[in-house]
Amino acid sequence: MGKVIDFKVAKKKIESKKKKCKFKTFKNNKIHNYKALIILFIVILSITSLFFLFVPMNTPKKNHYIESKYSMDIFKIRAFNLFFS
């Protein structure tokens, strides 16, 4: 009689361990899915940034480029003066 009770208890323990293992693997799969999503997001961001670096949306005119370059030079001089004054 005692052996039968021990067998039932052992069977319940084994079943509970199986359930725990299944839950752990499910949690790990969720974590892997999140990792894959993060990696995919980073790849998409890098591709779009490269696209915007090498393909300008509208090409600037020559005069505008010269003016912006000149204004940047003035900005650099002012920053230099502020830093060393």
Q: Using CA atoms in the order 25, 26, 31, 36, what is the torsion angle rounded to 10 degrees?
A: 100
The residues, any chain, with a CB within 8 Å of residue 11's CB and separated by 6 or more, are none
Overall pTM > 0.85: no
Distance, in Å, from the CA atom of 84 to the CA atom of 76, rounded to the nearest integer, reads: 12
Question: What's the rounded Cα separation, in Å, for the pair 19 and 3?
Answer: 24
The half-sphere exposure of 15 on its side-chain side, counting CA atoms within 13 A, is: 6
**Per-residue model confidence as pLDDT tens digits over 17-69:** 665 555 555 555 555 677 888 888 999 888 887 777 766 656 555 555 555 55
